[in-house]
Structure 1
């Protein structure tokens, strides 16, 4: 069953993020003189690259490797069963040594990846591991992982635009440079507050 509360919150946050993006786009067109098609193509490319690189870095940062089917046949079987019951494709399964029991999901529906730590598998029984896996699969099914990535992309775009506005409208000295950094950080955190609201709820 779809979680209507999560869907409603994602729709609201998505609308707010679009509003932030629209303001940033108008500023770029007004201050920098970029045409709308260039703004759209540039921002889509930026978020796309961030999505790909972010996924790659998340997996690389923990040293994730594919879970061998011969050694963890039960985990593969349970994920196949869960995926079928949720109506999604079976995601790529990976394992990593993280030092603590942990699991996370990256990617989107149809191209997702679930990473579990060796510590989690060793400390939990089979049913508990299945519960964790179901939780991560739900993130992929509800597309809230993608929402998080898009939110981070929009936050980065808005922050970059804010920094350049400060630099171009100031005296272009060292004080403006540091002010731009501060403004960019504050702007990014402001946008990310809405993304964190989804993160905490999910």
Structure 2
């Protein structure tokens, strides 16, 4: 056990020294701050752009989506063409697939933007509701939301990676000390309770908190963009309550038909207020009731439609 402990300490010491040498080398080769910032930013943007493109391609291949024929659905493309003409976008490809629940989403694909629709939406929504939902998705394409969010998140992840690189030497060293001390004492499983082990845990917790904070910021920005897309769709169509009705119908379709009496409901599944708040913080979309209330307020201010059913 003494031999194992010494070997572990030597191994992690080499890792610590190697990461230290790497940091020193990078520091000596560093360009001026402006150039360094441009290189880091360009690298983050490049990886983010590649991630978006390849991720979108994989998603479409998994969905097995089919392009909607224009000749067979001129009404759908008539709505799409008219909305695109009023907004700063080209007419997107419209793909249809079958999703677990009715949904629609926009993809910023290379060459031509794409809107993916669940087949159930064509029988679930009326013309005005469908127009509002499609305008919402085109609003995402108009503002390049998916591209901006992906690049922003990748840039923040790059910053976290640089922080992780900076703390790598002490993390490797304290890990080796904790493991070696535990093995020398004859109790390898006790290493997290040693002083170096606790120090390593604190460093990892700090990095984890930083990642969680970045995730929360990205999700909060995504929720704001959903509100902005709702506002843009209401502005273009002039019928905010049509979009509100569409959101309500989609939400009701996704809910269990019998509520708490559903045969799939299990006692204890009701969320507490804390659980719901936590879910809302990590959600990419606001609550449907919040979106509907916002659209209703917009309609009331303009007196343009009847109440939401």
How far apart in 1 are the matches of 2:56 and 2:172?
39
Flag structure 1 segments of 5+ consecutive residues without an equivalent: 1-27
Of 164, 189, 192, the residue aligned with 2:215 is 192
Shift of 1:91: 1.4
Residue 71 (structure 1) aligned with residue 72 (structure 2): yes
Matches within 5 A, 1:86-97: 86-97=87-98
Higher strand fraction (1 or 2): 1
Q: Deviations over 1:159-191 (max 9, x none)?
A: 322333332332353769977765554323212
Shift of 1:137: 0.3
Taking structure 1 as the reference length, the TM-score comes to 0.70
* Root mean square deviation, CA, Å: 3.2
Any conservation in 1 of the 2:44–2:151 contact (CA below 8 Å)?
no
Q: Figure out how many residues of one structure are paired with residues of the other and give that number.
A: 175
Distance 1:160 1:114, change over 3 A: same
Q: Deviations over 1:120-177 (max 9, x none)?
A: 2231122211111000001111232322112221232123223333323323537699
Distance 1:87 1:128, change over 3 A: same
Shift of 1:105: 0.9
How far apart in 1 are the matches of 2:111 and 2:52?
15
How far apart in 2 are the matches of 1:169 and 1:111?
48
Flag structure 2 segments of 5+ consecutive residues without an equivalent: 1-21, 177-196, 227-309
How far apart in 2 are the matches of 1:94 and 1:86?
20
1:48 is matched with which residue?
49
Shift of 1:107: 0.9
Residue 123 (structure 1) aligned with residue 117 (structure 2): no
Shift of 1:106: 1.7
Shift of 1:110: 7.5
Q: Deviations over 1:58-82 (max 9, x none)?
A: 3334332322223332212210111
Taking structure 2 as the reference length, the TM-score comes to 0.48
Matches within 5 A, 1:1-202: 32-33=26-27, 35=31, 36=36, 38-107=39-108, 111-172=112-173, 173=175, 183-201=206-224, 202=226
Any conservation in 2 of the 1:109–1:143 contact (CA below 8 Å)?
no
